[in-house]
Amino acid sequence: MNIDELFKIPAIPSGKNKRKLPDNPSLDFLNKYRQASNDEEIESSESKRRNVTIEEDEDDARNYGGEVDDYGYEDEEDEGRFFGGGLTDEQKKILELVDEIDADETEALDATTVKKYILRFEKAINKNQEQRVKYADNPEKFMESEADLDEEIKNLLALTQAPQHYRELVSLGSIPSLLSLLSHENTDIALDAIELINELTDEDVAPGEDMEDEEKAEAITESINIFVKALIDEQLPELLLQNLQRLDENEAADRQGVFNALSIFENLVSIDLKYAEIVVEKTDILPWLLKRINTKAFDSNRGYAVEILSILLQESRANRIKLGELGGIDVLLRVLSSYKRKDPADDDEAELMENCFTSLCSALAEPEIKKLFLEGEGIELMLIMIKEKSMARIRAVKVLDYAMSTSAGTANCYRFVESFGLKTLFPMFMGKGVKKLKKAYKAYSETEEEEHILGIIISLFKNLPQDDIQRLRLIRKFSDENFEKVDRLFDLLEHYHARDAMTQTEIETEKEQLDEEDLEDMADQFYIRRLDAGLFTLQRVCLAIVVLCEEDERVLEHALMLLNRKDRDMTFVTSLIDADESLAKEMEAVRGPIFSNQASTEESKVEAMDTDSAPNVDQQANNN
């Protein structure tokens, strides 16, 4: 007898065996009917919000049109039960009463009942261990105990309905027992245990914001935290990684097990961000993720691995630095390079690409990673993506903004200009190709792109000294083509100033409904709202206008002419900067680290450079 057969899902019963309700069933009948249905649901367990694969029952879909029947429809018509939910009014009233009874039974899942579940679970583990030792050479002898253990694991799924009692697993010392199953000889048992832990730690078990009982919400949160801390202390991350390394993803069950294990890592971080560093410090999860990501074929687990990586990098400098030490930046650039000229095949693959970009942007917050990005020819790759106008181009602009920001991005700024990035940047700045991008990609945001383009321009001003020829090339771009780029700056100034004014009007209206204490509490939120609505971009525009006017008299003359048309002068621009103390300080940085009066002599050098043949960025990247 094959022990693996014991854990296979039973076949779906055919339609001829389907239970049917009599016209006026008794309460006993309905209780039995619902109890049988509930037993089947428990057998299958509550599925996670995401699965590796979803298999549809085609026969069931044909018979029922793919819709799940309800006890009744809100807009049920009067033509009879064939046009409604299929139940008479009396049947529906009875079932409503049964629902109320079931609700009471759920509330009855108290500490005593939970302890009974746990004790039965412990007994099943002990019995299985004893029989496996006693009948090591005769699997048929311990088969029944294995089935009992499988059943008790599934019974513990009921705890997700009462997370305030998770602490009972800790107080009864059952955490080591539960985690011991992750190393069980029968992989099916280990997979059951992984699924159980995944469900118990799912974010859905935590109290939602709509929970009115604050005391109960606090009890649930505390219980979950106690439970998760105990899991971490008993080496859950290490055991999960062992399973990730031993599972064979060519097998469907193992593939789902890998997905569930990754989901547990996500659950831990969602419960407390501190666990992101703990799991990376205690395990080799980062090397495993990078190896799993660094493959060519797309599958759900590869996509999920990238998502987990992005989650682990979000709030942790230590994790970002370790990623760099493990060669993770090269891995991310290698994966992204496959999308430089082609788009992802579907939405799932697009999400993988998006998470790669997110991981890269998170890592680029660290100076050490900016250097690795430069060495990995990341600047050149992003420029290729932008020129190819593929889906990746949307995020490549954001990556460049992150890579070139702060003084640590100075080398990347030089590489950007040397790679003729200005010739790629300014067509985007002028809005060329925007209509096509909007039509082709729903993810494209013109506002977001304008923010990142201006971020790149400001970083160039900050990091390229005034006596440097590369900075002069940047300044000269704004006087080309009859100052069209200066005109564009003032168009953006008007657009974002109007948006900010509208947002301020809305905020002032809301303030009238608040008292002084609420006004103080909401001050930061109101400012963030203004930034999100366009104030941040407006500030970048003002910084660029002021520094250009200071460094090029021709730009100043043109700017004053544009301002005069609106009955304004430069104080209109400078006042927007002076209104924010931090922005006024930033203005000093934008002016550049070195001042010089050599502009006129250096300009001739720029003209000479511009006459040189510019190598194709694609060819440059290939040569490198």
Read off the pLDDT of residues 33-42 as tens digits, 9 standing for 90 and up: 444 444 444 4
DSSP string, 285-319: HHHHHHHHHS-SS--HHHHHHHHHHHHHHTT-HHH
Read off the pLDDT of residues 163-211 as tens digits, 9 standing for 90 and up: 999 999 999 999 999 999 999 999 999 999 999 999 999 999 998 877 8
Written as one letter, the residue type at 56 is E
- Cα distance between residue 431 and residue 190, in whole Å: 55
Place of tokens 């925007």: 434
- Cα distance between residue 428 and residue 383, in whole Å: 12
Indicate the range of 103-112, 123-132, 497-506 predicted with least confidence.
103-112
Work out the burial of residue 420: count CB atoms within 10 Å of its CB; fewer than 13 is exposed, 13-18 middle, 19 or more buried: middle
pLDDT of 59 > 60? The answer is no
Work out the burial of residue 556: count CB atoms within 10 Å of its CB; fewer than 13 is exposed, 13-18 middle, 19 or more buried: middle
Do residues 287 and 244 lie in contact, with contact meaning Cβ atoms separated by under 8 Å?
Answer: no
Is the CA virtual torsion 484, 489, 495, 497 positive or negative?
negative
Read off the pLDDT of residues 294-340 as tens digits, 9 standing for 90 and up: 998 899 999 999 999 999 999 999 999 999 999 999 999 999 999 99
Do residues 170 and 159 lie in contact, with contact meaning Cβ atoms separated by under 8 Å?
Answer: no
- Cα distance between residue 272 and residue 266, in whole Å: 10
- Cα distance between residue 468 and residue 606, in whole Å: 10
Q: Which residues, in sequence order, are CB contacts of 199 under 8 Å at separation 6+?
A: 45, 46, 48, 157, 160, 205
Q: What are 103's two structure tokens?
A: 């609700």
Is the CA virtual torsion 603, 607, 612, 617 positive or negative?
positive
- Cα distance between residue 328 and residue 285, in whole Å: 12
Q: Give me the chain's average pLDDT, please.
A: 83
First to last CA, the chain: 61
Indicate the range of 30-39, 102-111, 360-369, 447-456 predicted with least confidence.
30-39
3-class SS of residue 468: coil
Work out the burial of residue 18: count CB atoms within 10 Å of its CB; fewer than 13 is exposed, 13-18 middle, 19 or more buried: exposed
| Domain boundaries of the chain, sorted by first residue | 492-593
Q: Which residues, in sequence order, are CB contacts of 379 under 8 Å at separation 6+?
A: 373, 400, 403, 412, 415, 416, 419, 421
Read off the pLDDT of residues 566-624 as tens digits, 9 standing for 90 and up: 999 999 999 999 888 888 888 888 887 654 444 443 444 444 444 343 444 344 434 43
Indicate the range of 53-57, 149-153, 214-218, 352-356 predicted with least confidence.
53-57
